[in-house]
């Protein structure tokens, strides 16, 4: 876009003003450089509005035909780049009205009847988001697929499970990977819940009070793929809950990706060595030839900051705004577009990284029992012998203390030393000092045993299909 386009600027509000706007005002006011991406949605809404005006007797059949043809032509010209906004166009609505006037002359000026940029922009942004949320959902499903595919390979792979980033108890690495899938599935559910609440159409609210012209907001809503028309014209143009709520969902996705990203950074470190990245999804250093860095995981972690910032900026902008429309609300768009762009950028990269990474089973198997992760097995074995857990915990603690002092494993303590710690500690206790046995002993649904993990995997694989289907739905009509 540039002033060089040389198009004659128009204004949608010139009548009562004696001169043009000051340069500083025009520059501050300008939004077309970012809201231009709403053009396809504005045109879709315009098509419906034109038909409503015709039904109301405000356009005759010939005028409607010419209007719809001009809108089609303008849409094609926008898509090909032959029609472009200029800096003379304050916003997307102004630019498109200019395009219509260029094609239709005075007839182009009839479309604005009963409509205001206030209800238009609220409608356009809802249409844009309902459309793009499905794209974000599709990218989330792809990441879920990649994690699930890796999890399926590692249902039986033991790994050290951690709390406080300290070895805690052995887990299945597949279980660990699936623990990153569930938040993403909740994100998908959140987006669909959001969509149901966002399916309310503001068009017909006009500036704030509705119109004296016989429009049909319910029909407009239906034709634009919404569930219903806004029940209150003032709320219709003031409400940006749908923006804030989307940005919260996006920020939480960012937080989930950052937690996964952080783990990948750890897993690929020399100290862990659990995962090896594919060369195509890793980066090197400009000075250290040996380096292989997990930049994608770090960027996933870092982008959470800007997603949270997008949410924060919109909430801060909205707080304390008097009803109804205020120009502050123009500031809702850049954070919204930024959040969509950010997710569309990060998700495919992370998906590629996850689906191509190699899990080092040998390293995981070796690490799983380290840090006395089987101590809880000992305590629970004592409980099965009738020892109260409180006492079992103390006895096992003494056993661990002895092993720490001797720098040996739990299974390396002699029969006599076991008996010295407690008469309850018979040599039989060694039967539970086995990582795979500890996993196999976990049979309750949701736990980390191979049985429940396989069941969990199957359930996730089947629920993800509903999200794949939803992500493929289309709401915005042509």
Rounded Cα gap, residues 390 and 284, in angstroms = 51
Q: Are 357 and 150 in contact (CB under 8 A)?
A: yes
| Minimum distance, C-beta of residue 112 to ligand ARG, in the bound complex (Å) | 12
| Minimum distance, C-beta of residue 97 to ligand ARG, in the bound complex (Å) | 12
CB closer to ligand ARG out of 31 and 86 = 31
Concatenated DSSP letters for 235-298?
HHHH--HHHHHHHHHHHHHHHHHHHHHHHHHHHTSTTT--EE--GGG-B--SS-TT--B-HHHH
Q: Is 94 in the site for ligand ARG (CB under 6 A)?
A: no
CB closer to ligand ARG out of 194 and 325 = 325
Rounded Cα gap, residues 155 and 176, in angstroms = 9
| Minimum distance, C-beta of residue 225 to ligand ARG, in the bound complex (Å) | 21
| Measured CA angle at 315 (ends 312, 320), to 5 deg | 140
Is 285 designated active site? yes
Q: Which of 33, 182, 269, 285 is catalytic?
A: 285
Rounded Cα gap, residues 409 and 433, in angstroms = 10
DSSP-assigned beta bridge partners for residue 359: 275
| Minimum distance, C-beta of residue 117 to ligand ARG, in the bound complex (Å) | 4
CB closer to ligand ARG out of 91 and 97 = 91
Q: Is 172 in the site for ligand ARG (CB under 6 A)?
A: no
Is 182 designated active site? no
Q: Is 36 in the site for ligand ARG (CB under 6 A)?
A: no
Q: Is 410 in the site for ligand ARG (CB under 6 A)?
A: no
Q: Are 200 and 227 in contact (CB under 8 A)?
A: yes
Q: Is 88 in the site for ligand ARG (CB under 6 A)?
A: no
Rounded Cα gap, residues 191 and 137, in angstroms = 7
Q: Is 239 in the site for ligand ARG (CB under 6 A)?
A: no
What separation, in Å, do the N-terminal and C-terminal C-alpha atoms of the chain show? 25
| Minimum distance, C-beta of residue 238 to ligand ARG, in the bound complex (Å) | 12
CB closer to ligand ARG out of 330 and 422 = 330
Residues between 313 and 352 with contacts to ligand ARG, criterion CB under 6 A: 325, 327, 329-330
Helix (H) or strand (E) holding 355: helix 333-356
| Minimum distance, C-beta of residue 445 to ligand ARG, in the bound complex (Å) | 50
Count CB neighbours of 55 within 10 A: 14
Q: Is 117 in the site for ligand ARG (CB under 6 A)?
A: yes
Q: Are 310 and 333 in contact (CB under 8 A)?
A: no
Q: Is 98 in the site for ligand ARG (CB under 6 A)?
A: no
Among 31, 46, 258, 324, binds ligand ARG (CB under 6 A): 31
Catalytic residues: 164, 285
**Positions in the binding site for ligand ARG (CB under 6 A):** 31, 35, 91, 117-118, 121, 325, 327, 329-330
């Amino acid at each position: 876009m540039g002033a060089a386009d040389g198009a004659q600027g128009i204004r949608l509000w010139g009548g009562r003003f004696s001169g043009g706007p000051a340069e500083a005002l025009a520059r501050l006011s300008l939004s077309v450089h970012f809201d231009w991406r709403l053009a396809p949605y504005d045109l879709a809404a315009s098509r419906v509005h034109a038909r409503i005006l015709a039904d109301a007797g405000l356009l005759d059949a010939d005028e409607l035909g010419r209007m719809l043809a001009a809108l089609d032509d303008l849409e094609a010209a926008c898509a090909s780049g032959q029609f472009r906004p200029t800096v003379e166009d304050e916003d997307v609505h102004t630019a498109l009205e200019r395009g219509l006037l260029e094609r239709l002359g005075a007839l182009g000026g009839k479309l604005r009847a009963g409509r205001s940029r206030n209800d238009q922009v609220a409608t356009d942004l809802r249409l844009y988001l309902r459309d793009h949320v499905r794209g974000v959902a599709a990218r989330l499903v792809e990441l879920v697929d990649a994690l699930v595919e890796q999890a399926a390979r590692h249902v039986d792979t033991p790994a050290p499970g951690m709390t406080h980033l300290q070895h805690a108890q052995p887990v299945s690495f597949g279980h660990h990977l699936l623990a990153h899938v569930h938040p993403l599935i909740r994100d998908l559910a959140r987006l669909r819940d959001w969509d149901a609440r966002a399916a309310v159409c503001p068009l017909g609210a006009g500036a704030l009070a509705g119109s004296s012209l016989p429009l049909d907001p319910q029909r407009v809503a239906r034709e634009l793929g919404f569930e219903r028309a806004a029940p209150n014209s003032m709320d219709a143009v003031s409400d940006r809950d749908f923006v804030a709520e989307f940005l919260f969902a996006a920020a939480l996705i960012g937080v989930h990706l950052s937690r996964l990203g952080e783990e990948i950074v750890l897993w690929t470190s020399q100290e862990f060595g659990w995962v090896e990245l594919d060369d195509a999804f890793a980066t090197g250093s400009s000075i250290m030839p040996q380096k292989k860095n997990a930049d994608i995981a770090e960027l996933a972690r870092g982008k959470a900051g800007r997603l949270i910032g997008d949410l924060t900026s919109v909430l801060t902008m909205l707080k304390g705004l008097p009803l109804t429309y205020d120009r502050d609300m123009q500031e809702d768009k850049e954070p919204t577009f930024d959040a969509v762009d950010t997710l569309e950028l990060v998700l495919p990269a992370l998906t590629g990284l996850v689906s191509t990474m190699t899990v080092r089973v040998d390293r995981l198997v070796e690490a799983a029992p380290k840090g006395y992760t089987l101590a809880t097995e000992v305590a629970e074995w004592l409980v099965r012998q009738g020892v109260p857990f409180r006492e079992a915990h103390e006895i096992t603690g003494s056993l661990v203390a002895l092993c720490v002092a001797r720098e040996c494993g739990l299974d390396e303590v002699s029969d006599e030393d076991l008996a010295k710690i407690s008469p309850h500690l018979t040599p039989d206790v060694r039967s539970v000092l086995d990582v795979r046995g500890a996993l196999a002993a976990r049979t309750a649904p949701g736990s980390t045993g191979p049985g429940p993990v396989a069941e969990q995997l199957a359930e996730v694989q089947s629920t993800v299909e509903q999200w794949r289907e939803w992500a493929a739905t289309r709401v915005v009509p042509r």
